[in-house]
Amino acid sequence: MSTATSVTYDNVHAASLRLIGKVQRTPLLESALLNAWLGQRILFKAECMQTTGAFKIRGATNYLCHLEENDALPKKIVANSSGNHAQAVAYAASLYNIPTTIYSTENISAVKAAATRGYGAELSLFPTRTEADEAVKTAAQAAETVWIPPFNHPDIIAGQGTAALEGLQDAGQVDAVFAPCGGGGLLSGTLLATRELQPNAKVIGAEPLNANDAARSLQSGSIERLHGIPDTLADGAATPAVGELTFPLLQQLDDFYEVDETQIAYWTQWLQHLLKLHVEPTSAMSMAAVAAWALDSTPGQTAMVILSGGNISQASMSKIWQTDYLLQPPKLAR
């Protein structure tokens, strides 16, 4: 698999044109009660309402649309994913009737695995993400086969950035934009869109403390990897490492937060309650960063949060609700 050396806002804009009529233009939602608690206006770009239940469809569809433009569609597609990218690739490939195999870990969310198979893809499962990643590299060497990576490709980053592009077009002026970080594709695309459309807005990321490879990479100045399968509710952000394309963009962020498991469960419950949406933990994780920003900022500002997805297994839901955090409203004292 080859990639270009960089990705720019022009790539994001081109992707937005390709995706018209192919993906949902998801709405911006807000909670008056949450706004009152935080003293800020918080807008949520609801990618959990996307066709496959997550933003990943944007990158996968943009990738194939770009290949189609160049008359380069393959005979076979392979991809590696913990779930949402798997569904996205399977769905996008089904639009072109291209056979697809997804390489993932044995602990893949049951609901994401079922949806992936439902879109017509085969699943090949391995004990660890590293083994799955190595297997897809081997499979991608077959003739007339294309590997659609989960984040480390210009077409993927550009496609994911269209979520923020749409949100910023619809929101008007915002003071900060938040997105979760796994491999960094969504957050990188969000940065590119925000810097172009609203250069004065801060761009802030969040990842699980238990899967903090991006935070450690930003601290050390070089890409760090996770060892083993991280124990986190935010399975969509359990990527072993960020990519060589996403990392330089992540280094341009205004702030970055590591979120513990209690906060991930806490905000998953509260967002589901306040927005009446099925929000997955990776999406809700950013709210810990939003709350910290809100308390440190002058009241009356506006933030946009990318709700990355809403695909949650029953097992994850059980863990999220082991403790009921809705008994008292959030305590957010200045």
Average model confidence (pLDDT) for the chain? 94
Judged by phi (left if over 0) then psi (alpha if -120 to 50, else beta), residue 285 lies in alpha
Query: Do 92 and 64 meet the contact criterion of CB atoms below 8 Å apart?
Result: yes
Specify the 3-state DSSP secondary structure of 47: helix
Element (H, E) at 71: none
Alpha-helical segments (H) within 109-184 = 110-118, 129-139, 154-171
Pick out the chain residues at pLDDT < 70: 1-5, 331-334
Query: Do 30 and 44 meet the contact criterion of CB atoms below 8 Å apart?
Result: yes
Strand partners, 180: 206
Which residues, 6 or more positions from 160, have their beta carbon under 8 angstroms from its beta carbon?
A: 55, 56, 58, 59, 151, 185, 186, 188, 189, 190
Domains of the chain: 9-54+153-321 (3.40.50.1100), 75-143 (3.40.50.1100)
Name the token pair of 90. 């399977």
pLDDT at 3: 45
Rounded to 5°, the CA angle 80-248-67 comes to: 45
Query: Do 121 and 102 meet the contact criterion of CB atoms below 8 Å apart?
Result: yes
pTM of the model as a whole: 0.93
- Is residue 141 packed enough to be buried (19+ CB in 10 Å), middle (13-18) or exposed (0-12)? exposed
Which residues, 6 or more positions from 97, have their beta carbon under 8 angstroms from its beta carbon?
A: none
pLDDT at 2: 40
Q: What is the pLDDT of residues 224-258, one digit of tens each?
A: 999 888 999 998 898 889 999 999 999 999 999 99
pLDDT at 10: 98
Judged by phi (left if over 0) then psi (alpha if -120 to 50, else beta), residue 9 lies in alpha
Of 281, 293, 274, nearest to 332 by C-alpha is: 293
Of 294, 327, 290, nearest to 305 by C-alpha is: 290
What is the distance between the alpha carbons of residues 213 and 116, in angstroms, rounded to a whole number?
27
What is the distance between the alpha carbons of residues 19 and 81, in angstroms, rounded to a whole number?
22
